[in-house]
Structure 1
Amino acid sequence: EQILYRFQGCQLLGTTRETGREAHADQSVIILHAKVAQKSYGNEKRFFCPPPCVYISGHGWRVMQDHLKGEETKFYLTVSVFLQQMFACAKSLFISDQDKRKHFRLLLRLFLGNRQEVGSFQSRMIKVISKPSQKRQSMKNADLCISSCSRVALFNRLRSQTVSTRYLSVDRGAFVASARQWTAFTITMGKLEDQRADQGDFVLSEGFICYGCVVQLVCTESGVALPPMVIRKVNKQHAILDVDEPVSQLHKCAFQFRDSPQSYLCLSNDTIIQYQAPSSVKDPSRVVLNDGSCWTIIGVETVEFTFNQGLACIQTPVSPFPVITGLEVSWIRQVLFTTPFSFLVRVQSVRKVGFLYQTNLITVCLRS
């Protein structure tokens, strides 16, 4: 088994942002987590950073909450929580040096307020590393490189203190430095001619992100984007201007605004600002950074489960939750699939798919 760590802890309280009016409404569970995790050694605890997060959304949760009359309408998640939001994160997960596995998955178990289990949800595979690689990366270590159009998270940590960690995040359309929530960004690399191009002419390029490249960070949820920036390697609080090696997981880096070369992406308490970085007196190929302009970059994954549970009583929890990756439709009226779960697909036409029912009455809605 590659399922290693389970969310453990408290309750998730609050209400969804949507109000459910129909008895059959979609329910979504979104898990955000890093692609790699550092192993702890001895008494040291290297907590997962950024911490795995869970978001719950959809009309169906409100419908289910209203249906549980006479009971405590709380959704139990085995993670630490923030009130008034359908959001939770696990800040105390770490990997002991006694564990020899090189990869693992997270397992989320979701319960309703009556202790009825909805099911379990798996994350994507996470790679275990001992420490960030300081060597120049190659194709042999492609899983440690950052690809263009992949998802990343950025955080700032003062003097390696966990309590000082701030994450680059988006709140109501504005970029902020948050101590509790982090945002997944799509990082895209521009072509070489974009070094002097207008901001609106940013042309995407494929491949691995390398230092010295023009990149753009776009919030995967809201679409809010930062201006094009040049990513720079950081060493001893200096941005190195003449390095072009691939960017690797958990590298320290800085972001130089393309249209304002002296300005760097920086945080000041909870605010995102531009820091005017002076050149190094001893070495013109370096600029001096402050604490707030040194960022750690890490690849992240987003796993989303959307289903329709209805108001039926779940006698047996769904574990693990089924994932449908594709459905081939031919000239048939009715087909019964037999797998670890039994599904019934009703097809009214080649282009229109009705509802997909599971024997334990959890319903997944497929739309053409």
Structure 2
Amino acid sequence: MRKIGLLTRLIIGLTLGIILGYVSKEFLHFDALVRLLATFNGLFGGFLSYVIPLIIIGFVAPGIAELGKGAGKLLGITTLLAYASTVIAGTFAFLVGTGLLPRIVNAVGGQASNPEDALVKGFLQIDMPPIMGVMTALITAFLFGLGMAYIKSKSLYQVTKDFQEIIEKVIQSVIIPLLPLHIAGIFANMTYAGEVAKIMKIFGSVFAIVIISHLLMLLFQYTVAGTVSGRNPFTALKNMVPAYLTAIGTQSSAATIPVTLRSAKKNGISDGVADFAIPLCATIHLSGSTITLTMCAMAVMMMSGTNVSFAMMFPFILMLGVTMVAAPGVPGGAVMAALGLLQSMLGFNEAQLGLMIALYLTQDSFGTACNVTGDGAIALLADKFAKGTATETLQEKFA
């Protein structure tokens, strides 16, 4: 199964879950198999809740430290541009979602609610309380990150990087491989409860809206970058197509950096700025992922009957731009880093987190492609502000 792509495994898990839930309800007339999967889901969900604060500390703290260590004018400009782009993307997603998602939910027969009492319970439940709350983890990560940047502590920075490797290994070796089984359990349970038909219809519509929103956001980014830098936005966007297509295959901004660099330099960006801005944006510029997370979160809340407002979503969008800094360089890294915010700011329960993961990962490749292609637009703007001045790469600043 490891040789099969993650998306394929998720689709297999989703399909088998629906089949198992349908067979258990319509033919077997007992829920033992569904309860067995529900037991696994309870254990996996508890473990995921335990790991969420560790993910935040393991990735946000060293990420902030890295930004601080490379302090400089170009760093500040690039970071500000990337963050502004991320917030604009999230706000755009909210506006699109507000206009379209309620109609989609109503078109498939109203709320596809997923209340806890409608789901089959597991055979047993084991509490796995996290060592700290999500907001405590965020504050701790900011404190350590800024502190390391201020005192320039190489030893403490190395400790946090080692801890980051441990957490990334947990994600790669435990969470990601078990996700298909988790998704199978969620959809088996929802099928047994009679809600899966509505949810699948909503999933398909949301997927299409998200992809179109990605493309519109890229068009906006390159229109602004082209206007400011004096380059043809359509030519610049065309030059970034290899990076877009590579990201669809790798599902990783970090793995796509060599292609993104080559494509960005075709747009006339100076080597120094490109070598600095592209690797930096690969970790801090996530406009595509923000569009997906915002839209998917709104869809999941609307399916559960929650009223979605700008006052609720905008703080979430602002925090996304910070929390996803240095998100794990693995498929689904952005949604893993955002799980804490979904819990603490939007009140997601374990079932909603599972739906969110499933909905996000089905289009993770396209979100990553939007991220890396948008990095070229940020680099264009940074190059204009830097006036072609050669700049050290981020890696050199840490040496």
> Normalising to structure 1: TM-score of the pair?
0.24
Report the structure, 1 or 2, having the larger helix content.
2
- Greater C-alpha Rg: 1
> Normalising to structure 2: TM-score of the pair?
0.22
Report the structure, 1 or 2, having the larger strand content.
1
